[in-house]
Amino acid sequence: MSGADSITQLPHNGWLARTQPNTTLQGRKFAEFCLEVSGGKRAFFMMPQTPFTQSTFNNFKIAYDKVGGATELLIYDDKKPSLRTEVDQAMRYNADCIFVGGYLTDTTVLLRDLFRAGFKGKIVGPGYSINQKLVESVGQPEATEGAYGMLPSPQEGSNGWKKVADLIKQASPDPFSCQIYDHINLAILAMAQAKDASGQAIRDTVRAVSQGGGEKVDNAVDGLKAIAAGRKVDYDGASGPCDFTELGDITDVKFRYEQVKAGKMALVRIA
Amino acid sequence: MVSSIIQALLNGLVSGTILAVPAIGFTAIFAVLRYPNFAIGSLATIGAYAGWLANVRLGWPLEASFGLAFVGAGIATLAAEWLAVRPLEKSGALMMAICSLAVGIVLENIVRFAFGNEARGFNVPLMRDIRFGDLRMSPQQVENFAVALLLMALLWAALNLTRMGRAMRATADNPDLARLKGVQPGTVAAITVLVGGGLAGIGGMLVALDTAADPLTGFRLILSVFAAAVLGGLGSIPGAVLGALIIGMVEELTVLLLAPNYRTAIGFAVILIVLTVRPSGLFGERAG
């Protein structure tokens, strides 16, 4: 379930396809949303040292560069007890949007310091750190009010998503359960299409059942019937459309956008 | 750039002053018991959570919460000393130091089991920073700075003006001579551990007040605390204060000048250079 770009860039000879969006896709989506909510073109990108920090920022920057915007990256040490000097750097950049890409603990420290520093622009970050727990750990509602969190989202409301909800008996299944449901369906359909229950068969035919047009199916049972009847299938799953690039990355995924409103996470949209 | 450097130095002065509190605790324990207590980070975390418990769960004011942070961490340090470290006294300082590392890991995980992994903020209003031209400082920083200075002044008075303080200094200087003069080494050691751990606890709470309490609050301090104590001279309380101020400022300046992955290297570099060039640190090995 890794999203690191480097995974599919390994010499895997087509043996790897993943439903988790890579950092190229996530970096672009983060930037597009920052541009949209801030209405400006100047973003400061703060993220701790991780294997995907640079690649996420590179793709964030590409999206800003396309519209003539300006970005600056600050990689910080999330084990530092105070991040005031880092926030000073962010304030001096006069950004209209700050992307905070850390985890819950360091994002808590950052948001407290951004509030103290009087930052007036928009704050956007991944949903695994900007969420209800953050609101509680920061402790002062004004410091998190208006901040946006965004995460890759399952295809909420789709037939595949509803089937996962029934299967695992959860009203709102998480992205990873949805992705695993898709993995199993795709593997079964690929084997049926190839008439061969082997790894080689899955490798060679997964794209023949996942994309390229045909009868839309959202589960293996319907797909097997269509394949048996000689019809081409195009699987649309619970996590997304499940269309893969040559490298094995998904071409698109929906994101869930939320905003802190009156101390609670409010859904902005899923798109 | 000049104002960025001044701001970083200002931030470093405040964080160094806060760092000085657990560094004093660390060096005081070393001065009397002659081993580095690496559990000091987790003991700072215990203090942060004890203060949080008092302030948020029990609704106590900050002053009283500092008291619980001190007592909670002090008792935890004393318990760890008696139950885990002291039985290894005959095996030497290295074994005691290794044992303290293990104690630190155990304490950190006890905190995780008891409070979970989430960061927990104190019940204090976040106030906007005070500005002086391009520079800024938060009222919380000023308060923490004042608390740290007050603690250091109280400690100085206790060490220099009370009988027990003089006994502690005598034991740190020359344990055999102190014993001949009628000082009870067991009592002095217990009080030193209690006060040293308590100071670490207050240090943890000061950091958590500015940020939030989480199970790694103290762990993040440990390298800086150790570097400060080594730089100042292990066992020297004024040395720990000066060392902490220097480390605090250097760490903030590195944000402007170096990639973040080198920050950890700064602490290690300071330890390496001091131990190579001047093993006794800036203030030698004498306490007080």
Q: Which of B6-20, B104-118, B135-149 has the highest mean pLDDT?
A: B104-118
Shortest CA gap B197–chain A (Å): 19
Burial (CB < 10 A; 0-12, 13-18, 19+), residue A216, is middle
Q: Is the dihedral of CA A136, A137, A139, A140 positive or negative?
A: negative
Based on the fold, state whether residues A143 and A62 are members of the same structural domain: yes
Alpha-carbon gap, residue A17 to A7, rounded angstroms: 10
Alpha-carbon gap, residue A176 to A189, rounded angstroms: 20
Contact B260 A77 (CB under 8 A): yes
Residue A8 belongs to a domain: no
pLDDT, average across residues A2-27: 86
pLDDT of residue B265: 79
| Helical ranges in B81-217 per DSSP H | 93-115, 139-161, 163-173, 175-180, 185-210
Based on the fold, state whether residues A89 and A195 are members of the same structural domain: no
Which of A228-232, B164-168, B205-209 shows the lowest mean pLDDT across its residues? B164-168
The per-residue pLDDT for range B223-264, each reduced to its tens digit, is: 889 989 988 888 888 888 889 999 989 888 887 887 766 767
Residue A142 belongs to a domain: yes
Report residue B188's pLDDT band, with 50, 70 and 90 as the boundaries.
confident
Please list every residue in chain A whose beta carbon sits closer than 8 Å to the beta carbon of residue B264: 77, 79
* β-strand partners of A153: A254
Q: Which residues of A16-34 are buried (b: 16+ CB within 10 A; e: fewer)?
A: ebbbbbbbbbbbbbbbbbb
Residue B286 belongs to a domain: no
Number of domains in chain A: 2
pLDDT of residue B78: 95
- Nearest by Cα to B164 from B137, B180, B185, B143: B185
Based on the fold, state whether residues A191 and A230 are members of the same structural domain: yes
Based on the fold, state whether residues A113 and A124 are members of the same structural domain: yes
Contact B211 A109 (CB under 8 A): yes
Residue A242 belongs to a domain: no
- Share of residues in chain B with pLDDT > 90 (%): 35
Average pLDDT, chain B: 87
Q: Which of B99-103, B120-124, B259-263 has the highest mean pLDDT?
A: B99-103
Nearest CB to B125; choose among A75, A136, A140: A140
Please list every residue in chain B whose beta carbon sits closer than 8 Å to the beta carbon of residue A114: none
CA angle B13, B14, B20 (to 5 degrees): 85
Given a cut of 50, is residue B287 above it in pLDDT?
A: no
Residue B254 belongs to a domain: yes
Residue A205 belongs to a domain: yes
Residue A11 belongs to a domain: no
Residue B54 belongs to a domain: yes
Q: Does B252 touch chain A (CB under 8 A)?
A: yes
pLDDT, average across residues A174-203: 93
What 8-state DSSP symbol labels residue B129? P
Based on the fold, state whether residues A75 and A87 are members of the same structural domain: yes
pLDDT of residue B127: 85
| Domain boundaries, position A207 | 156-235
Residue B86 belongs to a domain: yes
Residue B161 belongs to a domain: yes
| Domain boundaries, position B38 | 2-116+134-277
Residue A146 belongs to a domain: yes
Based on the fold, state whether residues A50 and A172 are members of the same structural domain: no
Based on the fold, state whether residues A162 and A96 are members of the same structural domain: no
pLDDT of residue B286: 47
The per-residue pLDDT for range B48-89, each reduced to its tens digit, is: 999 999 999 999 999 899 999 999 999 999 999 999 999 998
Burial (CB < 10 A; 0-12, 13-18, 19+), residue B58, is exposed
Which of A70-74, A204-208, A230-234, B148-152 shows the lowest mean pLDDT across its residues? B148-152
For position A92, which CATH number holds? 3.40.50.2300
Would you state the structure tokens that stand for residue B155, as one six-digit string? 């400690």
pLDDT, average across residues A44-70: 92
For position B107, which CATH number holds? 1.10.3470
Number of domains in chain B: 1
Report residue A1's pLDDT band, with 50, 70 and 90 as the boundaries.
low
pLDDT of residue A164: 93
Residue A87 belongs to a domain: yes
Three-class DSSP category at B283: coil
Based on the fold, state whether residues A102 and A174 are members of the same structural domain: no
pLDDT of residue B284: 67
Residue A245 belongs to a domain: no
Q: Does B81 touch chain A (CB under 8 A)?
A: no
Residue B233 belongs to a domain: yes
Contact B216 A142 (CB under 8 A): no
Based on the fold, state whether residues A109 and A178 are members of the same structural domain: no
The residue of A72, A76, A84, A132 whose CB has the most chain B CBs within 10 angstroms, and thus the best one to mutate to test that interface, is A84
Measured CB to CB, residues of chain A less than 8 Å from chain B are: 48-49, 75-77, 79-86, 88-89, 92, 104-105, 108-109, 112, 115-118, 133, 136-140, 142-143
Based on the fold, state whether residues A164 and A226 are members of the same structural domain: yes
Average pLDDT, chain A: 91
Given a cut of 90, is residue B156 above it in pLDDT?
A: no
Q: Which of A83-92, A105-114, B2-11, B99-108 has the highest mean pLDDT?
A: B99-108
ipTM value for the complex = 0.79
Contact A82 B15 (CB under 8 A): yes
Based on the fold, state whether residues A180 and A77 are members of the same structural domain: no
pLDDT of residue B288: 42
pLDDT of residue B238: 86
Shortest CA gap A140–chain B (Å): 7
